[in-house]
Amino acid sequence: MKRRAFVGMGILGVVGAATCSWWQSAPPEPLDLVSLHSQQSRRTVPADVGTELWAVLRIVVDQGPAEERPPVHVGLVIDTSGSMEGEAIVAARAAAAELVGALQDGDRLTLVTFDSKPVLVVPSVELDDDAREESLERIAAIEARGTTDLAGGLHLALSDLLPHTSEGRVTRLVLLSDGVPNDALAIPSAVAQAASAGITVTALGFGLDYDETLLSSIAQQTGGAFHFLEAPADLVPIFREENLRLQGIAAKDLVLALTTGPNVELREVVGQAFALPQPRLGMVLGDLSRGEERVVVVRLAVGPHRAGATVELLDAALTFRDPSTGLAVDHHAVFLSARAEDDSALLAEDIDPALEREIESAKAAALTLQAVALSRQGNDVDALSMIEQAAPAAAEAAARLDDERLREQAKDMEALAEVFAAEPEGAESPSPSPRAKAAPKQRLLLRQAHGNAAINFQARKH
């Protein structure tokens, strides 16, 4: 079979643009699969005093009938540093090959590896039999060596992806790393660039030595997902899962805009690092596939209102693009309000148990992530103090609400307390990573707890 050279932009770019034009010239009738729902902890608030109130916003995508999906552009960014040598690099090659084999003709592929420097292994190419065969051969030749220029890998991949974002494809970047980057200073600019271009990052932390806080932050800021992979055998299944998500993409470039009412402040979006309060906030949520949901938990501070007044709490508006047409959808909105009362009987309302479970689980997960971040910064004292206060509260809520997810979160917190309290192995030798010299069992417990907590703040099956 005669091989075709990788030409990046050139003819392939023209073909991609023509494909996009075809999709947009005769758009099918869009399916109304996406919905936005809201619940709040109280319908009444005490008159003439300040109080707090919780709200849960749920974005749900129905399964819907099977239909052909539009083409996608997948960028693989794979750590090939020396620590990946052996089973890890073999598994990475196998996982990448499986994903490439599962992509459809007409999809685009970019592949970047990074060790001491980044390498553009497969420049953006539209897949057919020839291109797929060439890509698989290049994947098979990947080797592990050198250090970890993660920032360089991200920037190189983005430079190859960005020229094609105007084609209307769902663009996904899958990042795999098993270590701490040489220099993280250039990573925030790459993440900001990806988020502004609507490129969702799925970040995969492999093994026991990666920077869990950094990788999960990259995923969160782009509306993507983070996964902890303990062993090489976990790589192929997670790449397989990623391909299934791509097959079912129903909404892309999701943004949830939150606007508070008069004398109401947005004090916290649980698990998110926003500078608050602010009267209007836009949350980048990436994309969602059929059968998935995103849950957003917020804490509102409500100022004094006279008895009988309707308190305008929050407007929540969802916008996204239909991936099959590229058209913007912005009609999904909900309005939350309460009534100020001075009647104690009216104020004595019980919170819905299912709603309280969601709130308590989000709070426990957020505190777990905060404690791990403190430990990553070298502050195990405050991390331990935070988790020692949070664990009993999670256990009490689990018992009161009879919730298995909260029970598991409380167990994770208790395990973290032991990790933070333990003396690192080789403590007399300074290390750039506060947990780098912890025993393997401790590092595993930390990453398991962190990975379990991160799931609360990303797409999940409903």
pLDDT per residue as tens digits for the range 119-132: 999 999 999 999 99
Average pLDDT of the residues in 260-287: 94
Closest CA to 322 of 126, 69, 102: 69
pLDDT (0 to 100) of residue 136: 97
**Residues 242 and 256 reside in one and the same domain:** no
Please give the model's pTM, rounded to 2 decimal places.
0.88
Asked whether residue 71 carries a pLDDT value surpassing 80, the answer given is yes
Q: Which residues pair with 431 in a beta bridge?
A: none
- d(Cα 47, Cα 293) in Å, to the nearest integer? 35
In a domain, 403, yes or no: yes
Residue 305 contacts residue 47 (beta carbons within 8 Å): yes
Confidence label for 168 from pLDDT (cuts 50, 70 and 90)? confident
Residue 173 contacts residue 187 (beta carbons within 8 Å): no
DSSP conformation letters of 334-395: EEEEEEEE--HHHH-PPPPHHHHHHHHHHHHHHHHHHHHHHHHTT-HHHHHHHHHHHHHHHH
Residue 101: domain span: 72-247
Query: Tens digit of pLDDT for each residue in 196-218?
Result: 999 999 999 999 889 999 999 99
**Residues 84 and 206 reside in one and the same domain:** yes
**Residues 184 and 235 reside in one and the same domain:** yes
Number of domains in the chain: 3
Residues 404, 409, 412, 414, CA torsion sign: negative
Q: Any idea what the Cα angle at residue 83 is, between residues 79 and 87, rounded to 5°?
A: 85
pLDDT (0 to 100) of residue 21: 36
**Residues 127 and 264 reside in one and the same domain:** no
In a domain, 378, yes or no: yes
CATH at 265: 2.60.40.3670
Average pLDDT of the residues in 331-343: 92
- Which of 313, 347, 381 represents a domain boundary (last residue)? 347
3-state secondary structure of 188: helix
> Which of 6-15, 123-132, 169-178, 239-248 shows the lowest mean pLDDT across its residues?
6-15
DSSP conformation letters of 152-184: HHHHHHHHHHGGGGGG--EEEEEEEESS--S--
In a domain, 263, yes or no: yes
Query: Tens digit of pLDDT for each residue in 364-422?
Result: 999 999 999 999 999 999 999 999 999 999 999 999 999 999 999 999 999 999 999 98
Neighbours of 10 (CB within 10 A): 10
**Residues 41 and 105 reside in one and the same domain:** no
Closest CA to 242 of 58, 102, 64, 88: 102
Average pLDDT of the chain to the nearest whole number: 89
3-state SS, 328-350, equals: EEEEEEEEEEEEEECCHHHHCCC
**Residues 235 and 309 reside in one and the same domain:** no
Average pLDDT of the residues in 174-198: 95
In a domain, 198, yes or no: yes
**Residues 256 and 220 reside in one and the same domain:** no
Q: In the chain, what percentage of residues exceed pLDDT 90?
A: 78
Closest CA to 271 of 452, 15, 78: 452
In a domain, 14, yes or no: no
Between the CA of residue 356 and those of 17, 147, 153, 362, 402, what are the distances in Å? 48, 46, 42, 10, 11
Average pLDDT of the residues in 338-354: 92
**Residues 220 and 271 reside in one and the same domain:** no
Closest CA to 167 of 224, 105, 242, 106: 106
**Residues 308 and 404 reside in one and the same domain:** no
pLDDT (0 to 100) of residue 433: 46
Helix (H) or strand (E) holding 108: strand 108-114
Confidence label for 282 from pLDDT (cuts 50, 70 and 90)? very high
**Residues 170 and 214 reside in one and the same domain:** yes
**Residues 153 and 220 reside in one and the same domain:** yes
- Which of 320, 347, 374 represents a domain boundary (last residue)? 347
- Which of 347, 368, 385 represents a domain boundary (last residue)? 347
CATH at 233: 3.40.50.410
Residue 222 contacts residue 171 (beta carbons within 8 Å): no
3-state secondary structure of 271: coil
Average pLDDT of the residues in 71-82: 96
In a domain, 123, yes or no: yes
**Residues 240 and 258 reside in one and the same domain:** no
In a domain, 11, yes or no: no
Closest CA to 421 of 381, 449, 391, 376: 381
424: CB partners within 8 A, 6+ apart: 431, 434, 435, 436, 437, 438
In a domain, 223, yes or no: yes
pLDDT (0 to 100) of residue 435: 54
Average pLDDT of the residues in 320-330: 88
End-to-end CA distance of the chain: 46
pLDDT (0 to 100) of residue 142: 97
Q: What is the CA radius of gyration of the chain?
A: 24
Query: 345 phi and psi, to 5 degrees?
Result: -65, -40
- d(Cα 163, Cα 197) in Å, to the nearest integer? 10
